[in-house]
Structure formats: C-alpha cells, structure tokens
Structure 1
Amino acid sequence: MKSFTGKVAAITGAGSGMGRALAIALAREGCELALADQHGANLADTARLAQHAAVQNHGEEVEITTRVLDVAERDAMFSWAASSAAHHGRVNLVFNNAGVALSSTIEGMDHADLAWIVGVNFWGVVHGTQAFLPYLKSAGEGHIVNTSSVFGLFAQPGMSAYNATKFAVRGFTESLRQELDLMKCGVSATCVHPGGIRTNIVQASRIASNMTGFLIDNEQQSRSDFERLFITSADEAARVILDGVRHNKRRVLIGRDARAADCLARLLPATYQALVVASARRMQRRAQRNAAHDTSAHRA
C-alpha cells in the first residue's frame, strides 16, 4: 500500500499519543478514519484535529467516525468493525494501537491488574485483528498494524505482565503475517516495537505498591524518571509506522532505544538478562536506601 488517499483506516487508542498522531497523519493524506478510544472527550479532540489536518493539507474534509469502547470487550470490537465497514463502505487499514502498562513483582501481582493488562494489550489486538480481517480481505487491499513494544524484544524485572502481553503481540503478529503471506489475499501485517514514545501511557499506568523499595523510590518519582527516557515524539512514531506500511515491513522499530534493545537481544539473547539485573540492582539499592531514609524521617 503505497498511498493512503481514499483509503479507510480504523485506529484504536485514538484519543491520544500514537493513535492521535496516526489519525492526523492519515487524514492529512486524505484517508477516511474510524476512531475508537475509551475516552470520548479525547476522541472528539482527535477527530477535530484530524479533520483540520485534512482540510489544511488535502484541501477537503474526510469522513471520520468515532466509537467509545473498551478493546478488551470482544462484542464491542466486532460491532464497531461491522458498523465501520457499513458506514465507510470498506476498511483498508487497522491499527491495533491501544495499550496500557503495569509495574509489579510477579509474587505480589494482583490478578485483577493482570486480567486488565492482558485484556487491553493482548485480547484487544486479537479482537481487532479477527473483527476487521474479513473486511480487509473483502476490500482486496489491506494492512494490519499491531503495536508491541521494545518490551516485546527483551524483558525487565517488575514488568512481567507488560512483557508477557507485548511478547504475545509479537508472536501473534508474526504468525498472522505468515498466514497472510500464504493466503495471498492482498492483506499484510506489521508488528511495531516502539521504544520510549512521548505519550501519556506512564501517567495512565498502574504501579503496584510492592514496587516501592524494590525497584522504585516512590510512585510519582518513578513516573517522572521513566518519562525522561522517552526520546521519540508521537508524530515521529506515526511517520515511521506509516513508512513501514508503505514498504510492507514485517517489523518496525521506533527510536534508537528500540534499535539498541533489538541489537542487544539478538547478540546476547541470554546474557542480556544479567546486564539488566546489574542495572536493576543499582536502582534497587537507591530505592532501598531512600525507603530507609523516609522511614527514619517519619519516626523522627
């Protein structure tokens, strides 16, 4: 798919971050949009910004529809896919972009938190793929873009649930791509591995109390520290993703941090874990030292 003009794209997590950036970039090229997010106000803002981009850069408005939904709800996703195809007449692109984050030790992980992140990060991708694939095949030309993560390339302590979902998306999408290659149905698939992208995912993430004193000083400081590692803008991420679709890439790495992690995991597939542990131990010593200081100060 070399051009997005006149195509129809469905995007989850479109209310902010990469989802919003993708919507604006596609509208700028004259692509119709079916947008979904849990937050209606944010979704409306994205639709307004995308329409402005379409008029400003393409000279005319594009058709944009919105749906407030939870990607973890299978029936809602299938209903949205059917209504999107009916309203727009077809669907050519699906960006299963919605995602959430969870930090917790495995031993102390709450099952409800685990179910939440698996529902959004993994089942959301599965539902979006299965719901829209028949419509992409009917259109005769289509592409499925599933968002994994740099944490779908290598693991890190305290991120087991997030790692599990993003590794799952990677395996699911690579298998999907192989099946589509065998079908020769005009539909392809790409797995996206972003590094640190400047979005609101950290502020919206869940951090279990068991992480304090284990790997982090306190919750808010952890969020601030993590956000400082985000080096790539959402607009740049969208540009790289769409370029990957144009070139029918199987895997798209976003940011030099993602490329470095991919290289490390390839060169040292087992040894890299020891390097991560060594780095985490420094974080752990600092967290434990600060926790002890806070406790002493409180007693005083």
Structure 2
Amino acid sequence: MYRLLISVAMAATATSAFAADAIVMDQTVAAPHISGYVEAYLGGLYLTVPGDHATATTAGGTGRVNFPIDARWNIQTDAMVDSLWVQGQNLYGYGGAVHAYWRDPSAYALGGFATITGYGGDGIGGENIYDFSVGPEAQVYIGNVTLYGQVYYGQLRANGSSEHIDDWGTRGVARYFARDNLRFDAELGFSSISISGEHLNTVTGALQAMYRFSGSPFSVFGRYQLDHAYAGGESENIHKYVIGLRASFGSDTLLDEDRNGATMDTYRPNFILPFAGG
C-alpha cells in the first residue's frame, strides 16, 4: 500500500502576483463583509533527476471565501482542484480547507487551519487515497508588506486501511505591495514524509507576481515554484511554471483583499513522487 500511496502525483496551486498600478497605498480598514475570489491556472512541470528528465502539463483552480463573524473574528473556506498530465496519464487532487482566525487589519492575524485532499487518476485503481493536515498560522502587517507563516502536521491514508504515512511541514511567505494592485510574493518552505523510518524531504521556493486591473475584479498572475526533494541519497528537482486569471468580489484592490478579505492560503507541493517506487 505504501508503494501506491507515495506514487500519487498531484498538481499544485498558483496564487499570487504581477504588473503595475499608480494607486497610492490605502490602509483604510473596511467594514466586515463577505468577500473572496476564484482563480484558474495553466502551466507546465519540468522534472529532473540525475541523468534523466520529464515534462508534464498542469492546470487547476481555487475558490476562497471569507466570512467575518464580527469586527475581528473570521472564517475562511477554500476549495481547490489540481490536475497533472504526464506520459499519457492523468492524475489529480481535489479538496478544501477551513481557516478560523482573529485579525486586526492594521497589525496582524492569528488562527489555525485544517485541510483535506483526495487523489485520483490513472494507475490509482479503486483505492480511495486522501490526506489531511492541521496547524496554526499567523500574519503580520508592516505597511505595504505582509509576512505569513504556517506550521502543520498531517497524514496520508487509504480508506479501509489502518496504515498511514505521517507528514509535517512549515512555510513562510512575504507579500510586497508595490502599489495597491501590484503584488509580489516570495515563499520558502520545508516538508517531510515519514515512511517506515525513512524520510522523504522537500525544500520549496517560489516567486509570484499579480496585477489587478484598476476598477475591475480581474487579476492576472504568474508563479514559478521549485521543489527539491531528497531521500536515501537520491534527489530530484521539480520546476513548475503557471499563468492564470483571478476574479475577486467584495474587495476593491489586492491590498484590500489581503488585509480585509480572503487572505489565507495553504501549501500544495508540485507533486508527491516516490524514490523507492516501482
């Protein structure tokens, strides 16, 4: 079962930032109201291992909605789907997340989150494979910069089996708003999967850019993410490039969305791949 579990490949996500707008930074705190966005992306993956490489096509989408409970407490719900086409096979992940947090838009946000993701596609057969994770998260707002951190623990499971694979990780994100509608992100993370005493570790780095058209709910974005995975003396690099489109509601600018709307997200790797498969 472990061989099947670690052979699940899944596409990741695109979230963040590009372009320019001459709007002056506005730190006004908006009255609590429902807001969110939906986005879709298309791109490619490039996998390199010593002496070999492979390419794949990826696409996916995300929807997030923030529900203010009062002036400070918020509930955010996420839904996502990611798909990967490689060597004539399609593999996909789908799931959601819930965030509960307290936020002062002029200072910080503090809360926790939970996720669940299922996997399917060619080669998985009748196995119902899924994972879940839980953890704390926090944001700090310093002028036109948002610093975001998460830590999580999770398990990868198959229905009907008592066996599972443990995983944990941490990530940090810096969001820089050059203007209200021009956002740049940098991300660094680490995750580890424990399999029968062995560890599959992944270091992740990403750069993102997003531009929202002034007076419009629409944004365009691009993202590059590198996952460097290693275990048992073997390693591989997984490069992912995507472009996409976001449609927002209940917010006026990207900065407004970050401080008063659906500001939380979750880590999703480029994909999970075995080193001891076959």
- TM-score of the superposed pair, with normalisation by structure 1: 0.31
- TM-score of the superposed pair, with normalisation by structure 2: 0.33
Higher relative strand content: 2
Higher relative helix content: 1
Q: Larger Cα Rg: Structure 1 or Structure 2?
A: 1
